[in-house]
Amino acid sequence: MASPPPFSLSTDPFASTHCILPPTISKIFGTTVKLGKIEHTHFRKVTPLRRDQDFALKASKRSMGSPELTRQLNNNKFETLSGAEDGRDIFNDLKDRFLSFKSKYTENNEQFEKLAKAQAPKFMVIACGDSRVCPSTILGFQPGDAFMIRNVANLVPPFENGPTETNAALEFAVNTLLVENILVIGHSCCGGIRALMSMKDDENASFLKSWVVAGKNARKKAEAAASNLSFDEQCTHCEKESINISLSNLLTYPWIEEKVAKEELSVHGGYYNFVDCSFEKWTLDYRGTKLEERGIIATKNKVYWS
């Protein structure tokens, strides 16, 4: 698999990062993978982030068990809040979007009536809070499909670190909702990972630093494996390594490890690269993973969607 082209990041490790697309990339030809078949798609032209983009999204009943829902805007621009006209109340845009959603709600009233009584999601998703990384947009999750928690750098702290919002959500999803899959999604140009890689041991603690330090083992692995590469490339390596650290940390929770061992629960990693619009997915191989070697996991069923 060819490595994605190099990119530049913001010089401030604690600011919202952005990627500068390589000038050589003007078109992306890829595939959209849907259960049972591959559908070819063509992205006309990659424009800088936060600009309007051509948009086509299909969500199929077969993909997540949701009703058939297809949204395709031909020759129209993907509307973003950042693209709203100057002087216009940004909440007017949100109002329009809500009313658009309400029309779909009305059309699928029976489905939403069922969801109002109970939820039975198949997925627990842990993703980054980055505004460019929305699991529902990327993977087409519909209401009722996935119980989600988003935090800085999509990290899962180990059990012994004590209570956090993330493991509270995990406990509820696994023990009450009985989800069958946990999916940890990392992404390119992650500001939280860049902050982790930029930290100095003698720095004063902050909320951000106190949180991302949970990924310190991923940082060590990235620095060791990519010591001869640039800092930006080390960050990319750490973005992926941190996902595996989180998968390993999931097994430190007794009620997760027990269900994984009984094959009642599967644990997956995913990496979304929005520079070239690709997605990698893999599954933790519990039988091949040595629990005593924290952070060293075996994987299976790895696929690459582009």
Q: Is 66 a member of any domain?
A: no
In a domain, residue 247? The reply is yes
SS3 217: helix
- Whichever domain contains 258, its CATH number is 3.40.1050.10
Residue 23 placed within a domain: no
Phi, psi of 263 (to 5 degrees): 60, 30
For residue 235, say whether it is annotated as part of any ligand binding site.
Answer: no
Q: For 96-155, how does the pLDDT look when each residue is reduced to its tens digit (9 = 90+)?
A: 999 999 998 888 889 999 999 999 999 999 999 999 999 999 999 999 999 999 999 999
Domain that holds residue 171: 120-305
pLDDT number for residue 62:
39
Q: What pLDDT score does 80 carry?
A: 66
Q: Residue 218: how many CB atoms within 10 A of its CB?
A: 28
In a domain, 196, yes or no: yes
pLDDT value at 251 more than 80 = yes
Contact 27, 34 (CB under 8 A): no
pLDDT of residue 57: 34
271: in domain: yes
Considering the domain boundaries, does residue 284 fall inside one?
yes
pLDDT in tens, 257-292: 999 999 999 999 999 999 999 999 999 999 888 766
Q: For 292, phi and psi rounded to 5 degrees?
A: -75, -15
Does 198 map to a domain?
A: yes
Any known ligand binding at 277?
no
Q: What is the pLDDT of residues 45-98, one digit of tens each?
A: 333 333 333 333 333 333 334 444 334 434 445 566 665 555 578 899 999 999
**Distance from C-alpha of 180 to C-alpha of 174, rounded to nearest angstrom:** 8
The per-residue pLDDT for range 12-45, each reduced to its tens digit, is: 444 444 454 444 333 333 333 333 333 333 333 3
3-state class (DSSP) for residue 123: strand
> What's residue 185's pLDDT?
98
285 is in an annotated binding site: no
Q: Greater confidence, 201 or 183? A: 183
Does 128 carry a binding-site annotation?
yes
Mean pLDDT of the chain: 79
pTM beyond 0.85: the answer is: no
Q: How many domains in the chain?
A: 1
Q: Judge whether residue 233 has pLDDT over 80.
A: yes
78 part of a folded domain: no
